[in-house]
Amino acid sequence: MSNRPVALVTGANGEIGRSLIERLHADGRYRIVTLDLSPLPERYRPLCDETYAGNILDRYLLDQLAAHHEIEAVFHLAALLSTRGERDPELAHQINVEGTLHLLRMAQTLSARLDRSVKFIFPSSIAVYGIPTLAEKRALGRVREPQGLEPITMYGVNKLYAEHLGRYFMRHYRALSANTERTARLDFRGIRFPGLISAETVPTGGTSDYGPEMLHAAAQSKPYACFVGPEAQIPFMAMPDAVAALMGLLDAPRESLTLPSYNVGAFSLSAAEFATRVKNAFPGAEITFAPDAARARIVDSWPEDVDDTAARTDWNWAPQYGIDRAFDEYLVPSIRARYQK
């Protein structure tokens, strides 16, 4: 059996999970163990050492995982996104908060047992921000990590609280217990993603989904009615950059990290600009705007862009896919090829 350390990926079957598995496999440093509610598709299984189909709320299963694998890094990707979360806020809380608490407890128990800090990489989101009005959104521009933290969705509230939980476990866990000073603590590293766009998968359950949905519909010659207005603006990122950011944060020396959670940015554009780019690439695309007031309100509460100076300074974050490269070299050719097969 290989003595490479283990990276555990929860929510492995989701958008980020599938790309991350490919990247971790190509990297070669880790044996990959995955956990997701649904079984991992055949294509990804040979890339992994072990794949588990199960629920992150199942504490017994998590204990089994920790007992069988010397996990060095956890990528905790499993989550219920913002639109699904508004349809079932209690379920969102269970998965996004209680599930995260179970994973943190598992990683902390392992850190203490192995006497070294298990890295806990946690994708958070621009949904942790909540800006009351469009005028304030415009005035704020590129938001910094401590600004505007009044999320209006259950998902945003959950992500913000989970960031605090991670910080608590890393710095203050069981502060009153006698052995606290000598016990290794987990090493929490959070990253606030913009709306992500993958050429491989269409997202489900999110509110930034209008961007990727527009592109994937156009490539299939399907009409698309966009659920936000043309002026709606948030930051987006191409999936290869999201995976690169996770790996960059994983590899950053602990002593250089000054924040529990970092913004990462790539580009920002309005829904109208998104539609124009899609129409340029797919001239027959039929895109109309039919805003859904509640979903549009969520997008309006998110910042129009993020200031990621801290990530650039602390761990050399730099996106490789600006807006032109993301569309011209990654999204459009890959999505076109995908539907021509």
Is residue 266 within the footprint of ligand AKB (CB under 6 A)? Answer: no
* DSSP bridge partners of 32: 7
Strand ranges for the chain from DSSP E: 6-10, 31-36, 50-53, 71-76, 119-125, 142-143, 187-193, 195-197, 224-226, 233-238, 261-263, 267-270, 287-289, 305-306
Rounded to the nearest angstrom, the gap between the alpha carbon of residue 7 and the centroid of all alpha carbons in its chain is: 17
Q: Does 212 bind ligand AKB (CB under 6 A)?
A: no
Contact between 258 and 310 (Cβ < 8 Å): yes
Q: Is 34 in the site for ligand AKB (CB under 6 A)?
A: no
Q: What are phi and psi of 53, to 5 degrees?
A: -100, 115
Question: Is residue 155 near ligand AKB by the rule CB under 6 A?
Answer: yes
- Per CB under 6 A, 82 contacts ligand AKB: yes
Query: Binding residue for ligand AKB (CB under 6 A) from 8, 35, 71, 81?
Result: 81
Are residues 297 and 181 in contact, defined by beta-carbon separation less than 8 angstroms? no
* Shortest spacing between CB 126 and ligand AKB, in angstroms: 5
Rg (CA), the chain: 20
User: Which one of 20-28, 121-129, 182-190, 278-286 is the stretch in contact with ligand AKB (CB under 6 A)?
Assistant: 121-129
Q: Which of residues 229-258 bind ligand AKB (CB under 6 A)?
A: none
Q: Which of residues 190-209 bind ligand AKB (CB under 6 A)?
A: 195, 206-208
What is the distance between the alpha carbons of residues 305 and 325, in angstroms, rounded to a whole number? 18
Shortest Å distance, C-beta 240 to ligand AKB:
17
Minimum CB separation of residue 234 from ligand AKB in Å reads 8
Residues 125-144 that bind ligand AKB (CB under 6 A): 125-127
Using the structure block, give the residue that is written with the tokens 């539907």.
Answer: 339
Nearest approach in angstroms of CB 196 to ligand AKB is 6
Residues that bind ligand AKB (CB under 6 A): 81-82, 125-127, 155, 195, 206-208
